[in-house]
Amino acid sequence: LTSQLDLYRVLLMGAPGVGKSALARQFMTSEYKGTYDSTTPEIIEPERNVNVLLDGKESILHFLDEEQLTLLSLLPSTAEIIEPERNVNVLLDGKESILHFLDEEQHPNFEAEDLPIDAYVVIFSVSDSATYNAAVHSIRTLREEHRTNKAIILVGNKIDLARQRRVAKHDALKIAKKYDCRYTETSAALNHHVDELLVGILSQIREQISPS
């Protein structure tokens, strides 16, 4: 069904309250309507994938209709259904991939788990400089201590709170450049730039895997 698709795991990081859950929720319901050309990303069928872990091997089930839901009841008892709502299919430049989102708060020891992570999305609130400092610390740790060269996307969320802004865009951009990250500003509350972030994550992952 979807075995030809690449599945990438994305870890959502950031201090409590910055909007990790809100962003994940928006990702899961993200979709574009209208017509597209090759440069326009299309996000499709957000809720049709279920990750199934069976005998230590994870696979994706893509459900087309009600009948296929009965497959779940046929799984042996060692089967585990994990976080069904955490996959998003993204079609970019004619190629479809699946992004699987993990929340740092549910995976506090991601280093110790041998889950391969393809991208780190490090979120802060532009209205809270403590969360920004924490994000910078996380990025520095990833690059300098863990020595990862995986895709890292720094996200300044809550830009709708314009009058409470405490973190300047140029500061965040400077840090992002220093640590070879992409920087995006979003409002999960207003669903502003969330689709762009989703597509940006996938393009960063692909760029990291096979630089053009």
14 touches ligand GDP (CB under 6 A): yes
Near ligand GDP in 126-185, by CB under 6 A: 157-158, 160-161
**Contacts of 67 by beta carbon, 8 Å cutoff, 6+ apart:** none
208 touches Mg ion (CB under 5 A): no
Eight-state DSSP code of residue 158: -
DSSP E strand boundaries for 65-201: 80-82, 87-92, 95-103, 119-125, 151-157, 182-185
d(CA 63, CA 47): 9
d(CA 196, CA 199): 5
Output the smallest distance, CB 18 to ligand GDP, in A: 4
DSSP β-bridge partners for residue 87: 100
16 touches ligand GDP (CB under 6 A): yes
Q: How many other CB atoms sit within 10 Å of the CB of residue 164?
A: 11
- Of 123 and 201, the one with the shorter C-beta distance to Mg ion is 123
Eight-state DSSP code of residue 192: B
Among the candidate windows 21-29, 42-50, 127-135, 149-157, which touches Mg ion by CB under 5 A? 21-29
Among the listed residues 5, 7, 21, 179, the single contact to Mg ion using CB under 5 A: 21
Task: Give the binding-site size for ligand GDP (rule: CB under 6 A).
Answer: 15
204 touches ligand GDP (CB under 6 A): no
Contact yes or no for 85/28 (Cβ under 8 A): yes
45 touches ligand GDP (CB under 6 A): no
Chain residue at closest Cβ approach to ligand GDP: 19
161 binds, among ligand GDP, Mg ion, none (CB under 5 to 8 A by kind): ligand GDP
Site residues, ligand GDP (CB under 6 A): 14, 16-22, 157-158, 160-161, 187-189
